[in-house]
């Protein structure tokens, strides 16, 4: 057996747990990106903390091994983006990939744009793009749209915490930064903002700068990740599983209490119990043991980690 083959098999057998904060390039889908990272590490399980369209770049958190148990907490977390709206041109996909479906000579001023932004902050109603992964009658909306069939998606409530105009490269383009909650479509935001301004528009560029606790400064590109080449070096690019749970309060346990949780058994809290319903991050030493919910008297294990 060659040394290379032996190393590859050893890599496949390795237990890999943690987060890779990938700086996804434009042109690569989220699912293929996860597959490439999973193969690099030889991880048994992998998932991501929120889809990025192929035409978008930026922060794609990829969970490996036990980190996949924490994916929902990243999916539910705050997101931040930089994006550019191309004014005067609407497209079928609400981004640069689609066909031009409408045009307008109207170009709002910077002041007009800024006056419109408060209409798009807070809790708002937003209609998802026709070309989206949402399902209608069991079929993906984008499959129906590509087949030329009508797509009517109901508006949904989303939260936009902040929205700011940051640059105006020319009269046809406007650059923004946004912080928002789960389920917000930035393509819809760009489309609706242009319509409010009396014109039409689509997203010509989109970059995610944060997803939950993961930020742009933490991200690593695929070429850099692939250049590391082998497991010891690759492990240096892993963020701990618990990083995704930074907003959840931690509770230190004894090893005996930790063993009870590992076996799916509750741990009695003798004093200073948090309010019933509180989600806690149970740890022993520096090791994450479980996510637990307090029932007022004991910690009930919700998700146990094998770390």
Model pLDDT, residue 230? 80
Let me know: does 112 contact 123? Beta carbons within 8 Å.
no
Count of other CB atoms within 10 angstroms of residue 241: 22
Task: Give CA torsion, residues 214, 217, 220, 224, to 10 deg.
Answer: -170
**Mean pLDDT of all residues in 203-221:** 96
CA R_g for the chain: 23
CA distances from 261 to 247, 258, 266, 279 (A): 21, 5, 6, 14
Q: What percent of the chain has pLDDT over 70?
A: 89
Residue pair 94/188 in contact by the 8 Å Cβ criterion: yes
In total, the chain counts a number of residues equal to: 307
Assess contact for 90 and 264: CB atoms under 8 A. Answer: no
What confidence category does residue 136 fall into, taking pLDDT thresholds of 50, 70 and 90?
Answer: low
Q: Whole-angstrom Cα distance, residue 95 to residue 99? A: 9
Q: Whose CA is closest to 79, among 191, 186, 193?
A: 186
Helix, strand and coil content of the chain, in percent to the nearest 5, comes to 30, 35, 35
Task: Give the residue-averaged pLDDT of 96-117.
Answer: 96
Question: Does 53 participate in catalysis according to the annotation?
Answer: yes
Write down the pLDDT at residue 286. 84
Residue boundaries of the structural domains of the chain: 3-76+213-244, 79-208, 248-304
**Counts of helices then strands in the chain (DSSP H, E):** 9, 19
Question: Under CATH, which architecture does the 248-304 domain have?
Answer: Roll (2.30)
pLDDT of 128: 83
What is the pTM (predicted TM-score) of this model?
Answer: 0.88
CB atoms within 10 A of CB 56: 24
pLDDT at 132: 65
The average pLDDT across 57-61 equals 97
Strands 46-48, 57-64: pairing is antiparallel
| CATH assignment of 79-208, among 3.30.2350.10, 1.10.150.120, 3.40.50.300, 3.40.50.150 | 3.30.2350.10
Residue-wise pLDDT for 88-101, tens only, equals 999 999 999 889 99
Give the rounded distance of the alpha carbon of 260 from its chain centre.
33
- Catalytic residue, chosen from 17, 23, 53, 95, is 53
Asked if pLDDT for residue 238 goes beyond 90, the answer is: yes
Query: What is the rounded average pLDDT of the residues 201-226?
Result: 96
User: ∠ at Cα 212 (209, 215), nearest 5°?
Assistant: 35
């Amino acid at each position: 057996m060659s040394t290379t083959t032996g190393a590859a098999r050893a890599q496949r057998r390795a237990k890999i747990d943690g987060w890779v904060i990938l700086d996804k390039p434009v042109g690569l889908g989220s699912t293929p990106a996860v597959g490439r990272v999973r193969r690099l590490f030889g991880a048994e399980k992998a998932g991501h903390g929120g889809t990025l369209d192929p035409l978008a770049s930026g922060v794609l958190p990829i969970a490996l091994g036990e980190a996949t148990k924490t994916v929902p907490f990243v999916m539910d977390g705050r997101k931040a983006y930089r994006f550019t709206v191309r004014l005067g041109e609407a497209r079928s996909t609400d981004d640069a990939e689609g066909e031009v479906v409408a045009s307008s000579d109207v170009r709002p001023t910077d002041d007009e744009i800024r006056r419109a932004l408060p209409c798009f902050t807070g809790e708002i109603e937003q209609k998802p793009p026709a070309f989206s992964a949402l399902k209608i009658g069991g079929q993906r909306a984008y499959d129906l749209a590509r087949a030329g069939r009508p797509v009517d998606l109901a508006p949904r409530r989303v939260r936009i915490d902040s929205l700011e105009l940051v640059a105006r490269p020319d009269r046809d383009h406007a650059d923004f930064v946004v912080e928002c909650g789960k389920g917000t479509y930035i393509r819809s935001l760009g489309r609706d903002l242009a319509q409010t301004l009396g014109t039409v528009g689509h997203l010509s560029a989109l970059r995610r700068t944060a997803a939950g606790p993961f930020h742009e400064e933490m991200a690593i590109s695929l070429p850099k990740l692939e250049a590391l080449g082998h497991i010891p070096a690759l492990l240096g690019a892993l963020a701990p599983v618990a990083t995704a749970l930074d907003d959840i309060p931690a509770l230190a346990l004894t090893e005996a209490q930790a063993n009870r949780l590992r076996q799916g058994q509750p741990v009695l809290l003798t004093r200073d119990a948090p309010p019933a319903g509180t989600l806690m991050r149970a740890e022993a030493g520096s090791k994450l043991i479980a996510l637990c919910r307090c029932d007022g008297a004991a910690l009930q294990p919700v998700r146990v980690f094998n770390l």
